[in-house]
Structure 1
Amino acid sequence: MLDINIIRENPNAVKENLKRRNNPEYIELLDELIKKDKEWRKLVSENQELRHKRNELSKKIGEIKSKGKNASKEMKEVANIPKKIKDNDEKIEKLQKRIQVLLFKIPNLIHESVPIGKDENDNVEIRRWGKEPKFDFKPKSHLEIGGKAIDFESGAKASGSGFVYLKGDMVLLDLALQRFAIDFLTKKGFTLVEPPYMVNQRTYNSMIGDPFEFSEAGYKLDGEELYLIPTAEYPLGGMYIDKTLLKSELPMKLAGVSPAFRREVGTHGKYAKGLFRMHQFNKVEQFIICLPEESWDLLEELQKNSEEMYKKLGLYFRVVNVCTGDIGKKQSKQYDIEAWMADGKFREIGSNSNCTDYQARRLNLRYREKEGQPPKGFVHILNNTAIATSRTMIAILEQYQQKDGSVKIPKVLQPYMNGKKFLKFY
């Protein structure tokens, strides 16, 4: 969430920034927040004055009585103060709750380099890498190539729509991608973490953009305050709730390895073929906690890591700067990597985000200069899809497909595939 002091000190600047997101509701929320905050501060100040007045009157009453005089007037006046304080306290509590809701609903401030746009069609392409695959045959989709090794029919019977059984070499390919990403990131100095696959309400609300709007997008356990994680980013952040880190510990670079569980609510009408949009898939996540002044350079470092991995896989892809109408609520800036697929379209296979201190404030995650010193401020948090195996497998199957129906395995993955050079599903 945003720093309330920034809103108090620069309301117009915050409003102009929010306007770039092309959603009038955010301006309405901000206006309400400013109004409620003024009411809250006025009541808090009034109660401080009332308590001071009560103390002064109590002292005066004592002095009057010590002189044997009548203090009934002062006693009557001081007797009315507790009720006024109580009434104000009730209003203050109600305002605090609403202010907290509003702070959770208002999105992060957007970096100046984010392009203005309405939706994903306005995302700005930055660069491409590789060459578009050329075939002397009609290319097939990953579902046609994988055949029975990608079994959605059984998945639907056992679990429901959007679930799949991967079989044989598809399982090896999934695991190979995870091992490839793990080895790559550990060599880059990332600490490997396998987190819990469920998080509590506090963690979930701290990491998501707007818990009041998107909580339905996650799976909640019936009768429990627990959610299945939509990405390792959530439990990695939760690991540092209410902590104050030393400056010398930062930046902290973590590689989270876990499945991801998503209801995919609100994605109606979006591309959802086969492995592209599922309720469960595997993922290796880059996650960084850092000093505020480091986060923009580290965003580029994360992006470089992701692109390097896809280059090593030999995939044709492009990078886009996500526009104001498509960027998530918690992100200040976001890059997407989009891979070329057999129908000639580029589609997202990973994202890279700087959430600045938006999540850190909810987590209450701070840093201090030295041991024993008070906290200096909130850290910045970045997250990046190193490898989402399902979508990367689509790109591999569709870009590396052969005329005989086999799929050439990228060289960097062959050591993880028991030396196999081709996948054959027929």
Structure 2
Amino acid sequence: MIDLRLLREDPDRVRASQRARGEDVALVDALLSADERRRSSGVRFDELRAEQKQLGKLIPKATADEKAELLKRAEQLKADVKTADAERDAADTETQELLQRLGNLVHPDVPVGGEEDFVTLETHGTIRDFGAEGFEPKDHLELGQLLGAIDVERGAKVSGSRFYFLTGVGALLELALVNAAIAQATAAGFTPMLTPALVRPQSMAGTGFLGQAAQDVYHLDKDDLYLVGTSEVPLAAYHMDEIIDADKLPLRYAGFSPCFRREAGSHGKDTRGIFRVHQFDKVEMFSYVTPEDSQEEHKRLLEWEKQWLTSLELPFRVIDVASADLGASASRKFDCEAWVPTQGKYRELTSTSDCTEFQSRRLSIRVREGKQVRPLATLNGTLCAVPRTIVAILENHQQADGSVYVPKVLRPYLGGREVLEPVAK
């Protein structure tokens, strides 16, 4: 959530942020009104309580005639205090509910607009000309079937659409990717973490995934637990309700977890293969830093993502995501999109978001600097979303006979294999 003080001091900035997100600007005024009622009812309650306490001191010293009048006033104060207390609680509840619905403040450098209004910041690698090489590229599903690596038919039989099996070399390729990604993250100073896949409501809400993203979240009603769509959730909640000493920052974690997404808004999109699925594994970077260092940390996370994709020898571009395409918690987000030959376009492989103080305020995570205690900043960055990375590797590194070149960074984790050979014609 944002700082209420900032809302009071500069409501136009918050309105502009909401407008850039394509969200309801009237929410800002409703929140200002609720906050004013919360503060005025709190003042009223405090005044009545002070009078009540003062009256309690006067009654024992009063004469008989005075005491009757004071007791009458005490009864009225008792009722007034109860009413003021209820009004204060109601206004506070309304304020918090409205505040939870407000997205993070959009960074001023973020391009304004929707999904197609991003700005390309840089491109890396060379897109292959398969025509010049004399063959038509196969898509990742056909290659995966040739390699004995992907089985979507049995995935659908067992679990339904958008589920899959990784088999044989496909399973080995996932394990190689995960191990190589964790090795890079560990070398960069991240603490590797295996995180829970189920979290409590306060963890999911605290990271901002029960607002606009709620439709994509799986909920277990009987247990009131949520399946995570990213290990960002348990990594953000890891230090919930804690105060961290400034000399321990930055804290950096690399979480590996299964991820679950309903993909409720993706009907008809990417239905072939394993690009958009309900369950997948992912290595996620997560950082806790002081608010002043969040923008530099954001650049560092992006550099680690670029290092990873470069090591996989993939052509990719970096985009500055437009305001209406940001998640609720992100102030700014960079995506790395790899080229997918059979689609003829770049597709998102990794992303990194600067969430500033938004999540830490909701999760009550603070930093202690001397005698000062204040919210810190959190950031996240996907290092390897496994299925999409497999898609990019298979399609970009395929050869005319259906075999697939193995990037050098993965070979130590694949028994030294330089090429994945077809097992079926």
Range of TM-score over shorter length: over 0.9
In structure 2, relative to structure 1, the CA distance for the partners of 1:213 and 1:301 (3 Å cut) is closer
Matched, 1:365 2:361: no
Residue of structure 1 equivalent to 2:37: 39
Question: What's the TM-score once normalised by structure 1's chain length?
Answer: 0.94
Residue of structure 2 equivalent to 1:146: 144
Q: What displacement does 1:91 show?
A: 2.3
Partner deviation per Cα, 1:157-201 (whole Å, 9 max, x = no partner)? 111111101111111111111111111111111111111121111
Partner deviation per Cα, 1:119-167 (whole Å, 9 max, x = no partner)? 2211111110000111121111101111153111111111111110111
Q: What displacement does 1:74 show?
A: 2.5
Residue of structure 2 equivalent to 1:103: 99
Corresponding residue SS for 2:45: helix
Matched, 1:392 2:419: no
Residue of structure 1 equivalent to 2:345: 345
- Flag as ranges the 4+ runs of structure 1 deviating above 6 A: none
Structure 2 spans left out of the alignment, 5+ residues: none
Identify the range of structure 1 (11-20 vs 291-300) with the bigger mean alpha-carbon deviation.
11-20
Residue of structure 1 equivalent to 2:413: 416
Aligned partners of 2:340 and 2:45: how far apart in 1?
Answer: 64
Corresponding residue SS for 1:139: coil
Aligned partners of 1:214 and 1:319: how far apart in 2?
Answer: 24
Partner deviation per Cα, 1:52-91 (whole Å, 9 max, x = no partner)? 22223333333322xx543322321221111111122222
Aligned partners of 1:308 and 1:89: how far apart in 2?
Answer: 56
2:71 to 64, 68, 75: 75
Using the aligned pairs only, state the percent identity: 38
| Structure 2 letter corresponding to 1:125 | T
Corresponding residue SS for 2:399: coil
Corresponding residue SS for 1:275: coil
Aligned partners of 2:78 and 2:395: how far apart in 1?
Answer: 73
Partner deviation per Cα, 1:373-407 (whole Å, 9 max, x = no partner)? 4x521110000001111101111111011111111
Residue of structure 2 equivalent to 1:62: 60
Aligned partners of 1:122 and 1:401: how far apart in 2?
Answer: 32
In structure 2, relative to structure 1, the CA distance for the partners of 1:97 and 1:309 (3 Å cut) is same
| Structure 1 letter corresponding to 2:233 | Y
Residue of structure 2 equivalent to 1:296: 295
Matched, 1:129 2:124: yes
In structure 2, relative to structure 1, the CA distance for the partners of 1:284 and 1:262 (3 Å cut) is same
Residue of structure 2 equivalent to 1:164: 164
In structure 2, relative to structure 1, the CA distance for the partners of 1:218 and 1:399 (3 Å cut) is same
| Structure 2 letter corresponding to 1:273 | R
Aligned partners of 1:200 and 1:143: how far apart in 2?
Answer: 36
RMSD, aligned CA: 1.5
Aligned partners of 2:280 and 2:238: how far apart in 1?
Answer: 22
Q: How many residues align?
A: 417
| Structure 2 letter corresponding to 1:221 | L
Aligned partners of 2:191 and 2:129: how far apart in 1?
Answer: 39
Structure 1 spans left out of the alignment, 5+ residues: none
Partner deviation per Cα, 1:269-326 (whole Å, 9 max, x = no partner)? 5444321111111111111001111111010001001001111111000000001111
| Structure 1 letter corresponding to 2:232 | E
In structure 2, relative to structure 1, the CA distance for the partners of 1:127 and 1:70 (3 Å cut) is closer
Q: What displacement does 1:213 show?
A: 4.2
Question: What's the TM-score once normalised by structure 2's chain length?
Answer: 0.95
Corresponding residue SS for 1:121: coil
Residue of structure 2 equivalent to 1:278: 277
